[in-house]
Amino acid sequence: MSGLFVTDDQIAHARKLAREITDPIFDLIAKNTTVSVERTVLRWFGVDGVGNLGAPLVNLMVDRLQAAGVLNKGAAYWYGRALRMGASSPLDAVERLTAAPLSTLGPLPPEDEAKLRDEVRAEARAMVQELKDRVARRDDLKREFPMAQAPHKYLIVATGNIFDDVDQARAAAQAGADVIAVIRSTAQSLLDYVPHGATTEGYGGTYATQENFRIMREALDDESRRLKRYVQLTNYSSGLCMSEIAFCAAWERLDMLLNDAMYGILFRDINMRRTFIDQYFSRRICAMAGIIINTGEDNYITTADAYDAAHTVIASQFINECFAHRAGLKDWQLGLGHSYEIDPYKPETLLLELSQAMLVRRCFPDAPLKYMPPTKHKETDIFFSHAYDVMADLVAIWTRQGIQLLGMMTEAMHTPLLADRYVALKSASYLHRAARGIDEEFVVREDGKIANRARFVFGKALELLEECHKDGMVAAIGRGRFGDVKREETGGKGLDGVVEKAPDYFNPFLELMEGRA
């Protein structure tokens, strides 16, 4: 595979633009918190379970603090006040705070205030260490049973019933899947709470809950030991509970999370301020827990034309990379997304798709990358559909993708059956085996169609980054530059959950993750 197409200086310029584009967003992040971030803090302290009417306790407590106008000090601060009121457990702390008239809780003397914060910081350090110990158990299993070579074959299960999902996941792993993804129930990203416990009903997927994560992780650990090959688990950290789900996933030792800087804004109409703040805290957790994030640029070329909008994928990847690095994620954790989505009836589509995938690899040489299969132009002709997927398998191995979601020949007809998954796995395994090393055997002409297309797309991506740099990210999103979807800064769902921090705002977990403690 060519190492050229674009120069190192051009790539460095794109990264510089992305850093400067995101600087104002980080000013916003530094000054604000959200109800989801504060609920995550409480979960980390061990607040769990639901109240009498089924509402999660973290929601009850944060809603109470927000209604009283004191959430701007941070949920951790009020958790500490409850401990000083004599609370004997996280649950007792919630009960005391929800029962007490918060207006009567005036400021503490400076000495007591400092002691409260020191005590809460000590508890936070202990909880961070417990999370790290849990992650170490996952990593020990990975070392004991090494994963297969990349591209890691990524397969979806999504019955709505977590116990049925387990059966399908085991079958997929036995047939060669390296990554199991449990798709969330339709529209869960719009719920401003995380459902509690194991779930057996869901439309278009299975609810993302901490208990569901635990059940699937336990099953895949068992399968990994049986197969003597580690099987990875992924879910979705997006929407109004992005940071909470990141914590639940980290605690239950997941390997990957769908986590994007702009997906919720563009495709779920979630307020952009809320999304940017939540994604930062969620990515801090992913960085600490060694979770690989998968970004959502592949979605841009399902709502926009893949040929015309290829440059928006590259521009967004640079922006997503910058957000990720600023949150502490390393290159090996960046499953930057792209997809094999050009209309198959265009001429030379294999060359075009190779060009795009090679360009992404050129720009992000150390990232695993996540490659999505054809979906937009799938047909009910299963034989053509299967051939279409096999072309994506070829591009994945040729361009050294790290994570490849496998296409299904029945994608356009119904939720794929186990047999459909088996066919997809068998074909991908064959292509990966047969074509491994092809990138080292063939040199791409620097004056050919692949290289010229890559240079053209990169040039357009730079133009888009220059526009974002000149006018700002908010303006670019407002003009529909990404995915042909337009959103306003104060529009969408969840803005009422954004809270400006008080001067004495307290979040010991953020202090620890940012290295300030």
Whole-model pTM above 0.85?
Answer: yes
Give the least confident one: 3-7, 67-71, 114-118: 3-7
Collapsing DSSP to helix, strand or coil, 272 comes out as helix
Would you name the residues annotated as active-site residues?
263, 298, 370
Distance CA 198, CA 209 (A): 7
| Residue at 1: amino acid letter | M
pLDDT for residue 414 is more than 90:
no
Both tokens assigned to 277: 């703040």
Distance CA 28, CA 67 (A): 22
Higher pLDDT, 418 or 10: 10
Give the least confident one: 70-74, 85-89, 135-139, 221-225: 85-89
Q: How far apart are the first and last CA of the chain?
A: 45
Of the pLDDT bands very low, low, confident and very high (cuts 50, 70, 90), residue 96 is confident
Of the pLDDT bands very low, low, confident and very high (cuts 50, 70, 90), residue 93 is confident
Predicted pLDDT of residue 2: 47
Distance of CA 362 to CAs 312, 427, 455, Å? 16, 27, 11
Helix pair 57-67, 35-44: axis angle to 10 deg? 130
Distance CA 186, CA 53 (A): 23
Of the pLDDT bands very low, low, confident and very high (cuts 50, 70, 90), residue 1 is very low
In 100-235, which ranges are continuous DSSP H helix?
110-144, 162-174, 210-227
Q: Which residues contact 164 (CB under 8 A, 6 or more apart)?
A: none
Pairing of strands 32-34, 498-500: antiparallel
The percentage of the chain sitting over the pLDDT mark of 90, rounded to a whole number, equals 89
Closest CA to 233 of 213, 248, 263, 251: 213
pLDDT for residue 357 is more than 80:
yes
Residue 213: phi and psi, rounded to 5, are -60, -45
105: left (phi over 0), alpha (psi -120 to 50) or beta: beta
Return the DSSP state at 493.
Answer: B
Both tokens assigned to 289: 């827990």
Distance of CA 85 to CAs 89, 107, 120, Å? 12, 13, 14
C-beta of residue 481 within 8 angstroms of C-beta of residue 252: no
pLDDT tens by residue, 10-37: 999 999 999 999 999 999 999 999 999 9
Predicted pLDDT of residue 103: 64
C-beta of residue 279 within 8 angstroms of C-beta of residue 74: no
Residue 453: phi and psi, rounded to 5, are -65, -45
pLDDT for residue 350 is more than 70:
yes
Q: Is the peptide bond before 365 cis (omega within 30 degrees of 0)?
A: no
Q: How many CA atoms lie within 13 A of 245 on its CB side?
A: 28
Helix pair 162-174, 210-227: axis angle to 10 deg? 20
Residue 447: phi and psi, rounded to 5, are -110, 15
Question: Mean pLDDT throughout 80-85?
Answer: 88
Question: Mean pLDDT throughout 191-214?
Answer: 96
DSSP sequence for 55-121: -BHHHHHHHHHHHTT-GGG-HHHHHHHHHHTT--SHHHHHHHHHHS-GGG--PPPHHHHHHHHHHHH
Higher pLDDT, 121 or 415: 121
Distance CA 368, CA 337 (A): 10
Distance of CA 178 to CAs 230, 231, 255, Å? 7, 5, 11
Q: Which residues contact 447 (CB under 8 A, 6 or more apart)?
A: none
Distance CA 207, CA 188 (A): 7
pLDDT for residue 90 is more than 90:
no
Distance CA 295, CA 313 (A): 10
Distance CA 276, CA 500 (A): 14
Question: Domains in the chain, please, with CATH?
Answer: 35-131 (no CATH), 132-452 (3.20.20.440)
Question: Mean pLDDT throughout 135-164?
Answer: 96
Distance CA 450, CA 455 (A): 9
